[in-house]
């Protein structure tokens, strides 16, 4: 989980996470995190994406990469 440390608009640190949006595209899986600042009431997003094959694969695969 990636959390912002401050509001990009006013620099305030009172942030509330709102419900995230998950989008499944053709071959990518998107998660959009929404944050609201308590100081200025602005909402900003953090968008992450990853290939669907990675999102649903087991961590086992990473073992073969690192071992």
Chain positions contacting Zn ion, by CB under 5 A: 7, 9-10, 12, 37, 39-40
Q: At its nearest, how many Å lie between Zn ion and the CB of residue 21?
A: 21
C-beta of 24 vs 45, nearer to Zn ion: 45
C-beta of 23 vs 43, nearer to Zn ion: 43
- Contacts of residue 50, defined as CB under 8 A and 6 or more positions apart, other chains included, come to 28, 29
C-beta of 11 vs 51, nearer to Zn ion: 11
Q: How far apart are CA 24 and CA 55, in angstroms?
A: 10
């Amino acid at each position: 989980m990636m959390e912002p440390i401050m509001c990009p608009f006013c620099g305030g640190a009172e942030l509330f996470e709102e419900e995230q949006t998950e989008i499944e595209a053709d071959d990518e899986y998107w998660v959009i995190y929404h944050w609201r600042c308590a100081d200025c009431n602005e909402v900003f997003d953090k968008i992450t994406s990853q290939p669907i094959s990675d999102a649903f694969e087991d961590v086992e695969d990473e073992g073969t990469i690192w071992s």
